[in-house]
Amino acid sequence: MGKRTSENVLLDIALRNFYGAAEELGLDEGLIEILGNSERKLSVSIPVVMDDGTTKVFNGYRVQHSTAVGPAKGGIRFHPDVCQDECEALAMLMTWKCSLAGIPYGGGKGGVECNPLEMSMGEKERVARTLAARIEPIVGAWTDVPAPDVNTGGQEMVWFMDTISKMRGRLEPAIFTGKPISLWGSKGRTEATGYGVATCAIELLNAVGKEVKGTTVMIQGFGNVGTYAALTLVDAGAKVVGISDITGAYHCKDGIDIHKAFKHINEHPKKLLEGYTQPGLEKIPAEDLLFIDADLFIPAALEGVVNKNNADKIKVKYIVEAANGPITPEADAILDKKGILIVPDFLANSGGVIGSYFEWAQDLGGYFWTREEYNTRLIHIMKENFHRVWDFTNEKKVKMRRAAFMVAIMRVADAVRMRGVFL
């Protein structure tokens, strides 16, 4: 078969990153070929009777890139752009993310090509239940464990779980994670990604010998991940000097009162910073947040926000990527020349998938943990993972992003080697 390329940008980047790191590791050709392909790509049709009585057929997908380390793990999204190649790219990234996180999972991803914003609850339920029925032969607590993704959440997970439980005639709570706490979900999941991001930031500062106390931070995106990262960092002594959301950026060189801002968004009908005030606070255009004088930047909003047009003007020394892919490859090279240290997304935001692993473990055991147990275990694992990558970075004299890929690929390659090639 040889090396693959793809017309799909996401899949092409995923393949190129993999081949680059695998060659640097000196993996043998057979292993590169195995891991450059997905184990299983399932494509299904989803016929649904719409509210107006017409019948529509949607395309659905589930890709399992690798199950060498454990069951495939990864979200199911509902979006008009969903296609098999995109699912394959994201499944491959999940393999590396789970491997790097040190949890017993491979990588999977799935989705339905649809626009949920134009669908009623009833239509969404019928899409979700039909998808669950169509992928039922390949999902299971020990085979493939899906989770929420773009436009899916706790409600969809409950529909999936309920459909498969009814088909199998027994409750199957451990097949899907991201369920509500009242239905086999877990305490702690909401905060997990933000806590993990902050843990990486604190470990990075410790590793370079910089005190957390007094470190200045700016955070793009004051949503789920950004808020919990900010709260943890200020509680550890850091000073958050800039935050932003879709309503703009907010700058205060003496430090933003993050607990007050958090209370503000929770009281705002759309959970936004709009109208937030405190002494010394100035509102600036959203884009200008990136150029604030600070030590650490946490992009926690969108992909591609740091690009070749703005990378040169960024003044921070450290970036911890909370969002997926916030820095384009061109910007990455510019930031590298400026000596900026970057903790890559699939290490920094892996608190989310580690949290899913905790939910699965609790569901399999039928015994639920306290929030404190959850957080203690999460922070312990995040610290270990950070240091595994940090040590490898220093040993091999490569960037953290490349080191993270190499560490992740090595674990999966070892599993394939030990288990053998058959199946």
Q: Which residues would be at the binding site for ligand NAD (CB under 6 A)?
A: 193, 220-226, 244-246, 286, 300-302, 322-324, 349, 352
21 CB contacts (<8 Å, ≥6 apart)? 402, 405, 406, 409
Comparison of 140 and 223: residue with beta carbon closer to ligand NAD: 223
**210 given a catalytic annotation:** no
Distances in Å between the alpha carbon of 122 and those of 61, 164, 174, 331? 21, 18, 25, 44
Q: Which two tokens stand for residue 350?
A: 């892996």
Comparison of 257 and 274: residue with beta carbon closer to ligand NAD: 274
Least distance between ligand NAD and beta carbon 226 (Å): 6
Comparison of 133 and 252: residue with beta carbon closer to ligand NAD: 252
Least distance between ligand NAD and beta carbon 382 (Å): 13
Comparison of 193 and 215: residue with beta carbon closer to ligand NAD: 193
94 CB contacts (<8 Å, ≥6 apart)? 65, 72, 73, 74, 105, 106, 107, 108, 109, 353
Comparison of 271 and 317: residue with beta carbon closer to ligand NAD: 271
Least distance between ligand NAD and beta carbon 155 (Å): 16
7, 11, 13, 19: CA torsion to nearest 10: -110
Comparison of 60 and 351: residue with beta carbon closer to ligand NAD: 351
Least distance between ligand NAD and beta carbon 34 (Å): 27
Residue in 73, 97, 109, 187 annotated catalytic: 109
Least distance between ligand NAD and beta carbon 35 (Å): 23
Phi, psi of 404 (to 5 degrees): -65, -45
Beta bridge partners, 283, equal: 250
Distances in Å between the alpha carbon of 183 and those of 71, 148, 161, 245? 22, 15, 10, 32
Neighbour count for residue 308 (Cβ, 10 Å): 13
Comparison of 99 and 349: residue with beta carbon closer to ligand NAD: 349
Q: Which two tokens stand for residue 29?
A: 């050709």
Q: Which of 272, 223, 275, 278 is nearest to 252 (CA)?
A: 278
Q: Hey, what amino acid is at 325?
A: G
Answer yes or no: are the C-beta atoms of 289 and 262 closer than 8 Å: no
Least distance between ligand NAD and beta carbon 152 (Å): 12
Least distance between ligand NAD and beta carbon 193 (Å): 4
Q: Which two tokens stand for residue 43?
A: 């494509």
Comparison of 71 and 299: residue with beta carbon closer to ligand NAD: 299
Which residue's C-beta sits nearest to ligand NAD?
223
- Active-site positions read 109
